[in-house]
Amino acid sequence: MGETRPVYAGLSHIEVVLFYGLAVVSTGIFCWGVARLVLKYRAGRREPLGRLVRRASSMVDVVFSHRWIRRRDPIAGLGHLLLFYGFTALFIGTTILGIQTDIARPIFHADFWSGRFYLGYKLALDIAGVLLLAGLTLMAFNRAVRRPRRLGYARPDRRAGEYDRSLYRVGDWVFLSTLFSLGVTGFLLEGFFLASTPQHFAAWSPVGWVLMKWFRAMGLTGSSAALAHHVTWWVHAVLALTFVASIPFTKAVHMIASPANVAVRDPAAGKRLSTIAADAAPEDVGYRNLDDLSWRHLLSLDACTKCGKCTEACPAAAAGLPLSPRDLILDLREAAETTLGAHAALGIRPDGWPEGLDVLGDPIRTASVWSCTQCMACVEICPVGIEHVPIINQFRRQLVERGEMDPMLQRTFETISSTGNSFGEPKRRRPKWTEGLQFAVKDARKEAAELLWFVGDYASFDPRNQRNSRALAEVLRRAGADFAMLYEAERTAGCDVRRAGEEGLYSSLAEANIEAISGCEFERIFSTDPHTFHTLKNEYPGFGGSWTVLHHSELLLELIEAGRLELRPLGYRVTYHDPCMLGRYNEVYDAPRRVLEAIGVELVEMPRNRDNSLCCGAGGGRIWMKEQRPEGSRRASEQRIDEATSLGRLDYFVVACPKDVTMYSDAIKTSGHDGEIELRELSELVLESIGAPTDSATALAGTKVAPD
């Protein structure tokens, strides 16, 4: 027979026709399912895409490198890597065989499936099959033996008995089992064929060759092996065709949707929120109905692999608040499938599932929407690029439009609107913190300066943070920096106003600040507040204000490296907390650490650091809301202090964000670690390093939290 073999060995003509008939049915079901997916996505709001080549290139990099999947769980990452490449190689091999059988031979009378190509083909597919089974074994081990909590489907946003995720658990195992069965039956097919029909090149299928030896040792040869091959062929074929047909309707849909979502995702998702049209009707603000979601967000619902990494990283979930980013996405997915997808087309509606497209309130509960800190931990760790934060923000916008929000938050919005700050202080008191300085800070409205300091609310009005503002001002003076402020012309920058869903108020704040800043003469602008830093740098350009923006840690490092500060080593042992807006939002990780290194302190990293830093819990307007947590739970800020004190003796917990100063000063006390560790802001340590007196003796008591 030569170095090849018949494709349909042992099958009658009728069986071959039956196989092709089943293949047509399987392909038809698959195509219908994909069409329903496309129709579902088309029901969403239109959004332009653009940059298709760059998007495709990025998708190929992410998908084939597996760098997103391997993060923080190397075992699961390795398992998926082996599974992916094994499955991909087997799919390519099946496609090559299909081209040979159905195109090359009958149409062009060509036969390339022989000789050296065939031998290399068989060896490659054997290796691919081994990779597939090894990957599946690792994935099964991860679920059945390691059993990470994130794969358990427990929901922090529902009580026991209010939800049922059993179908998801079954679906996960059916998916793994089906692929495992396909791999095993594929090897059995080769072994049975070689046992029934000896071939001199059998060793080119090493797994099949080993199985052949085993079968022959068991006495399975000739016609008995041929019968086993015949039965296994049909089992393998039906499994494969059933799997293909099921892809659009099962967990396997992520094989299509996940790469597509990686390609169409917004690289600035959450970091630069969308604007609202000035003439938008109230019902068109944000998300309320499923068809309010953009087509990209509808696609992302099917991309979810249910890995739970987002919920594991979520500070709200960790604190016992009723939010699970994964389950919010899955709830939306179920609703979309029931009302817009294949289930809707087939008339399938689970008992008790609400009718219509309105999902805000049920199944998307308002308590879940308001629990989010907008810290971006979920978006940052998602292996398939789902945009949880923008989706939640859109729901918030609709709730704000309805007036359905925490009374404290509503009062804060009103306070900011009337006074320009979240503390409700008269604008003339904004520069009052400078009264403790021995020099006058320039007024940027009257004098040109190299640097414009956008101070922010907490750094201006909060007593504990005023110390840090004075410390930084003194450091800048010692370095000979030419800086100025806006004084009464400064208003809240609005980052958290926007992330709390009040887009209208944010727009007015941005416009007022841009007008004030544009009237000043300066080269660069900086802030101690990462929230202010972020919105000035990344969001104000969309409103007409574009400048070079620095965080004060970057400015301090610049001054140190320029030799403008004489430093002495402090010798402290400290840990540093990465603020979400500085780290995950803007990837400023090294500047604060290099400053700490320059002032001679020993930095001990917490287990969760840099892009895995745990949010303090203040972001997204949460600092302006009443906190209601289950009894016995610990706030994210308290958990962070627990994490820091577990490192052994530390002199200081170092922060570089005014809201962190407020949150962690309180958490040190409420977590039971008062006296074990003290909080210091980066500027205070730099001031101490240059040998200048500080305000550190000022009592922490009396720190004011807005709104009062």
Residues 362 and 454 in one domain: no
Main-chain dihedrals φ then ψ at residue 71, nearest 5 degrees? -70, 130
pLDDT of residue 107: 92
In a domain, 459, yes or no: yes
In a domain, 449, yes or no: yes
| CA atoms in the 13 A half-sphere facing the CB of 358 | 8
In a domain, 702, yes or no: no
Residues 132 and 202 in one domain: yes
Main-chain dihedrals φ then ψ at residue 551, nearest 5 degrees? -90, 150
- Round to whole Å and give the CA distance between 596 and 603: 7
Three-state secondary structure of 356-421: CCECECCCECHHHHHHCCCCCHHHHHCCCCCCHHHHHHHHHHHHHHHCCCCHHHHHHHHHHHHHCC
Reduced to 3 states (helix: H, G, I; strand: E, B; else coil), residue 460 is: helix
Q: CATH number for the domain including 44? A: 1.20.950
Model confidence at 576, pLDDT cuts 50, 70, 90, reads very high
In a domain, 700, yes or no: no
What's the DSSP call for residue 289?
B
Task: Give the N- to C-terminal CA distance of the chain in Å, as an integer.
Answer: 88
pLDDT of residue 2: 73
Q: Encode pLDDT of 51-101 as tens digits.
A: 899 999 999 999 999 999 999 999 999 999 999 999 999 999 999 999 999
| CA atoms in the 13 A half-sphere facing the CB of 638 | 15
In a domain, 705, yes or no: no
Do β-strands 652-655 and 678-681 pair in parallel, antiparallel, or remain unpaired?
parallel
Angle at the Cα of 236 (from 248 to 20), degrees rounded to 5?
70
Residues whose CB falls within 8 Å of the CB of residue 63, separated by 6 or more in sequence, listed in order? 258, 259, 262
Residues 283 and 255 in one domain: no
**Count of the separate structural domains present in the chain:** 3
What's the DSSP call for residue 294?
B
* Residue 91 belongs to domain spanning: 13-155+166-262
- Does residue 707 have a cis bond before it (omega within 30 degrees)? yes
Q: Which amino acid is located at 90 in the chain?
A: L
Residue 334 has pLDDT above 90, yes or no: yes
Residues 609 and 641 in one domain: yes
Q: CATH number for the domain including 289? A: 1.10.1060
Share of the chain above pLDDT 70, in %: 98
Mean pLDDT of 248-270: 96
Residues 679 and 560 in one domain: yes
Residue where a domain stops, chosen among 262, 290, 315: 262
- Round to whole Å and give the CA distance between 80 and 172: 14
pLDDT of residue 698: 37
Reduced to 3 states (helix: H, G, I; strand: E, B; else coil), residue 308 is: coil
In a domain, 649, yes or no: yes
CB atoms within 10 A of CB 700: 16
Is residue 257 within 8 Å of residue 42, measured between CB atoms?
no
Residue where a domain stops, chosen among 262, 289, 321: 262
In a domain, 222, yes or no: yes
pLDDT of residue 616: 97
| CA atoms in the 13 A half-sphere facing the CB of 300 | 28
Is residue 132 within 8 Å of residue 86, measured between CB atoms?
yes
- Round to whole Å and give the CA distance between 650 and 574: 5
- Does residue 282 have a cis bond before it (omega within 30 degrees)? no
Q: Encode pLDDT of 515-567 as tens digits.
A: 999 999 999 999 999 999 999 999 999 999 999 999 999 999 999 999 999 99
Mean pLDDT of 187-211: 95
Residues 433 and 400 in one domain: no
pLDDT of residue 692: 81
Residues whose CB falls within 8 Å of the CB of residue 265, separated by 6 or more in sequence, listed in order? 296, 300, 385, 387
pLDDT of residue 274: 94
Residues 543 and 666 in one domain: yes
Share of the chain above pLDDT 90, in %: 90
Residues 401 and 550 in one domain: no
**707 vs 173, more confident:** 173
pLDDT of residue 354: 76
Residue 705 has pLDDT above 60, yes or no: no
- Round to whole Å and give the CA distance between 654 and 664: 10
**279 vs 188, more confident:** 188
The DSSP result for 477-534, as a single string, is HHTT--EEE-GGG-----HHHHHTT-HHHHHHHHHHHHHHHHTS--SEEEES-HHHHH
In a domain, 268, yes or no: no
Reduced to 3 states (helix: H, G, I; strand: E, B; else coil), residue 174 is: helix
What's the DSSP call for residue 68?
T
pLDDT of residue 216: 95
Q: Encode pLDDT of 96-150 as tens digits.
A: 999 999 999 999 988 899 999 999 999 999 999 999 999 999 999 999 999 999 9
Is residue 425 within 8 Å of residue 457, measured between CB atoms?
no
- Return the sign of the alpha-carbon dihedral for residues 548, 550, 555, 557: negative
Residue 488 has pLDDT above 80, yes or no: yes
Residues 357 and 470 in one domain: no
Residues 396 and 439 in one domain: no
465 token code pair:
């943070």
Residue 700 has pLDDT above 80, yes or no: no
Residues 378 and 461 in one domain: no
The DSSP result for 649-708, as a single string, is --SEEEE--HHHHHHHHHHHHHTT-BTTBEEEEHHHHHHHHTT---STTS-STT---S--
Greatest Cα pair distance, the chain, in angstroms, is 101
276 token code pair:
């609202």
- Round to whole Å and give the CA distance between 374 and 378: 9
Element (H, E) at 451: strand 451-453
- Round to whole Å and give the CA distance between 528 and 549: 11
Residue where a domain stops, chosen among 235, 262, 289: 262
What is the chain's mean pLDDT, rounded?
95
Is residue 524 within 8 Å of residue 451, measured between CB atoms?
yes
Give pTM, 2 decimals: 0.94
Residue 706 has pLDDT above 70, yes or no: no
Model confidence at 348, pLDDT cuts 50, 70, 90, reads confident
Residue 702 has pLDDT above 70, yes or no: no
Residues 88 and 207 in one domain: yes
- Round to whole Å and give the CA distance between 467 and 620: 25
Q: Encode pLDDT of 378-437 as tens digits.
A: 999 999 999 999 999 999 999 999 999 999 999 999 999 999 999 999 999 999 999 989
Is residue 181 within 8 Å of residue 239, measured between CB atoms?
yes
